[in-house]
Chains A and B, each alone.
Chain A
Amino acid sequence: MTDTSRRERSPRLAVIGAGPAGLAAALAAARHGLRVTLIDAAPEAGGQFYRQPAAGLGARRPQALHHRRRSWERLRAGLDRQITAGLVTHLRDHHVWCVTGAQRSGFTVHALLGPEQEQPVEVRADAVLLATGGYEKVLPFPGWTLPGVVTAGGAQAMLKGGLVLPGRTAVVAGTGPLLLPVATGLAAAGARVAALVESADPRAVVRRSPALAAQPHKLAEGARYAARLLRHGVRTLVHHAVVEAHGDQRLEAVTVAALDATGRVGPGTRRRIGCDTLAVGHGMLPHTDLAEALGCRLDGAAVHVDDEQRTDVPGVWAAGEATGIGGAELALAEGHIAGRSAAVRLSGREPDPRGWAGAARIRAGLRRFAAAMDDAYAPPAHWAEQVTDDTVVCRCEEVTGGTVRRAVTELGAGDVRTVKLLTRAGMGWCQGRMCGPAVAGLAGCPETAARRPFARPVPLGVLARAGTTEDEQ
């Protein structure tokens, strides 16, 4: 049998998402004998982490915006090689709305072609690897819907993708490690960053946590950011929060306040900072819609996986932020392991984990680090107290904080789903991705999985014919 014909008979793996996890998975799987279809919504591979400026914008030094440029260049070159060799097919601008099927019958990935997202595409595969990444968590505060308030990730995407400077005077606020590159990125791009407002106090945690100390290169990275902030004259306020954004038609200023030991706003600590841009973020959440519709078990907000990155649904692997927020390096390690495991399992053999022992070691360390970071950067315990009754919480359906509170106190709602039913919070375009954590916090109940059968809106005309090829086979 020739190499080509052996390849034609080898199993096909659909990798959904071409960020760090998906790229690492696709390359590992292809190198170990699978045919891979790499499906991604963006026009170029890389995901949010390795987002590239659109061609034609004439960026002179796009690499200046990127850390880990070498790892990206290695992945990019590997992808090009595998595409040329015919082992990886890269489907760009494919917006996946659902994955159906099972190991026995095979899987179908249902996508819509962008940017209009009207024309359907169905991809068949023997197995699926979900590398769907994460999305930003933003908690509301009075004034957060003013033009000029953007998410931290949104500001970063603008910087990386379009090289657009979102404003002239910026405040970066919220909590989490993403705030550092956003602040330094804005400053490097020429904005005046009036303050970096972090509600946690990372220094205290660094001193306490052995998991952080065990990742010296991560600490060095933090130190580099701190130096850059200093160089750009960015004032960092730890244990502070933006409690209100002000402006008539658009953002003009923010009020920041110090937080006391319990996470409450300290009396007499409020002060106003003028700015026309506020980049705000409170960490990341895993994208789990596709996994949930497939019936995969979740652990809290993330897709549950075993040591080989297998979900509890046979034939479905997951890697990267979808399995728990941990950053690009962890995603690379998890993607590598997932791709290797899929390649061996789909050829009917038992994998030997010693083959990926190095990646597993990196994964273990970075997961401990991620857990410590998660503890360090939790939003302040009493953030919901700052949300006034007239603050819009769900922007799609324009539901206010007061409406959510009344659903709990007057109408007997005790969970996010009932609040949604009684207020419409989370029923709009974003399907609660934006307001889910905020509604849970205001209602004083835990966040629960949302069960979204469609990962994105799908035209009924497409849905009416979806999967009919699957039935014919």
Chain B
Amino acid sequence: MRLTCDAVVIGAGMVGAACALYASRAGLDVIVVDRGPVAGGTTGAGEGNLLVSDKEPGPELELALLSGRLWAGLAGELGDRIEYEPKGGLVVAAGPEGLAALERFAAGQRAAGVLAEDVAADRLRDLEPYLAPGLAGGVRYPQDAQVMPALAAAHLLRAGGARLSTGRTVTEVLRDAGGAVRGVRTDRGDIHAPAVVNAAGTWGGEVAARAGVRLPVLPRRGFVLVTEPLPRRVRHKVYAADYVADVASDSAALQTSPVVEGTAAGPVLIGASRERVGFDRSFSLPAVRALAAGATRLFPFLSGVRAMRGYVGFRPYLPDHLPAIGPDPRAPGLFHACGHEGAGIGLATGTGRLIAQVLSGRTPELDLTPFRPERFGEEAL
């Protein structure tokens, strides 16, 4: 039997799920394929951050604001099933210099439409009673929110009604004599479609190569620590101001800046380490030690709280720290939706909406030029 559809989405992670949802709702017949299970890659290894607070004014922030609005709408529909929590973010600075920089950063964000409230040092503990004393101040971001990423991916896939085929590996993106995409070849047969969406996350470079185009997605490793379940003591997503600098950094060396948040289920999650070591899954005591040290500096009570487990994931990053979203002129019919680094959960909804718009021939509501997949060089592999 010939398997056909309007669009094949490669990747059953958060971004693929959002692409499938919005494309289906735009009236397209979609098949999602993944070599693993739902949320088997970076989606299953993340914290589920929906953040505007860590983004400077520019195209990524615009995408984050669009995505935030879409998440709020989906939360109304999917309720508690995806554990959506509009808890807000709180960024704190240890000293006056850091605080001045943070407040300048926030002022720029406000001009771009972000809600950001300066919080004086003596008001920090009203927001977070267990925060360490002596911090210089902070900024509260009420638009920051969180979902449970694996649940979000699974429920968005289900809500969209797209056909899902897991455990199926794409071996080649099929192209006709004129170069146009006509489907995918998999280890379990071909799927014919005039459009293929590369939502393979950290493995998006490999999928691009199977279509004969270059997309330099590379892994940036991160560890997350999970504590024993606690009564709610950390209310916001709380992080130190130097996190923003780490996110934007190009260094390959280990960087850690504490990011601490409570969850609906009880455990406190502690991120975020960043290092470029390829796909090395092995346990790294220096990385988790730095996470624990940073978290206990922010919240001294955590010293006596036990870490139950830790997990490792690989953020898909592109050299300019912006995702690749939109049609690939080098392979007509191929669309990319990957390379979101550590922001893929948050940016998934906006990405899915924009992909659905271009798939159905409409003008996308954001300018896709900064996200052009061919911006890293035109040469074929």
Contact = CB atoms under 8 A, between A and B. Distances in A.
Interface of A: 98, 100, 118, 293, 295, 407, 410-415, 417-418, 421-422, 424, 427-429, 431, 451-454, 457-461, 463-468, 471
Contact of A100 (B265, B285, B309): B285
10 contacts: A412-B38, A421-B150, A422-B154, A428-B308, A454-B308, A458-B306, A459-B303, A461-B292, A463-B307, A464-B296
A410 B265 CA distance: 22
Contacts of A293: 283
A412 B11 CA distance: 13
B23 interface: no
Please report whether the interface of chain A is mostly helix, strand, loop or mixed according to DSSP. loop
A295 B282 contact: yes
A297 to B, nearest CB: 12
Contact of A459 (B164, B304, B311): B304
Contact of B308 (A411, A431, A466): A431
B151 interface: yes
Contact of A422 (B150, B270, B305): B150
B40 interface: yes
Given A411-B158, A429-B308, A454-B310, A418 B285 contact: no
A40 B283 CA distance: 23
Given A417-B44, A460-B292, A412 B157 contact: yes
Contact of B228 (A417, A422, A451, A457): A457
Which of A418, A451, A454, A467 has the most B CB atoms < 10 Å from its CB? Answer: A418
B165 to A, nearest CB: 10
Contacts of B151: 421-422
Given A457-B307, A461-B303, A466 B289 contact: yes
Contact of A453 (B155, B228, B295, B310): B310
Contacts of A453: 283, 288, 309-310
Nearest to A463: B292
B38 to A, nearest CB: 4
B293 interface: yes
B167 interface: yes
B268 to A, nearest CB: 9
Contacts of A428: 229, 308
Given A431-B308, A452-B309, A459-B305, A464 B40 contact: no
A418 B44 contact: yes
Contacts of A418: 37-40, 44, 150
Contacts of B306: 457-460
B363 interface: no
A99 B170 CA distance: 39
Interface of B: 12, 36-40, 44, 150-151, 154-155, 157-158, 164, 166-167, 225-229, 265, 267, 270, 281-283, 285-286, 288-289, 292-293, 295-296, 302-311
Contacts, number: 122
Contacts of A415: 36-37, 40
Contacts of B40: 415, 417-418
Contacts of A424: 265
B164 A461 contact: no
Contacts of B154: 407, 411-413, 422
Nearest to B304: A459
Contacts of A452: 309
Given A453-B310, A464-B292, A467-B285, 5 more contacts: A410-B158, A427-B308, A451-B311, A454-B308, A460-B302
B34 to A, nearest CB: 9
A253 B308 CA distance: 36
Contacts of A451: 281, 311
B295 A460 contact: yes
Given A453-B283, A460-B303, A467 B289 contact: yes
A428 B265 CA distance: 10
B288 A414 contact: no
A415 B34 CA distance: 13
Contact of B293 (A411, A417, A454, A464): A464
A457 B289 contact: no
Nearest to A413: B37
B31 to A, nearest CB: 13
Nearest to A110: B285
A468 B283 CA distance: 16
A60 to B, nearest CB: 40
Nearest to B43: A421
Nearest to A117: B306
A118 B306 CA distance: 9
B172 to A, nearest CB: 23
Contact of B12 (A412, A421, A466, A471): A412
B305 A460 contact: yes
A453 B227 CA distance: 13
Nearest to A292: B283
Contacts of B295: 460
A465 B305 contact: no
A460 B309 CA distance: 11
Nearest to B267: A427
A461 B296 contact: yes
Contacts of B37: 412-415, 417-418
Q: What are the 3 tightest A-B residue pairs by CB atom distance, in nearest-first order? A: A461-B303, A421-B150, A457-B306
Contacts of B304: 118, 459-461
Contacts of B285: 98, 100, 466-467
Contacts of A98: 283, 285
Contacts of A412: 12, 37-38, 154, 157-158, 164, 166
A110 to B, nearest CB: 8
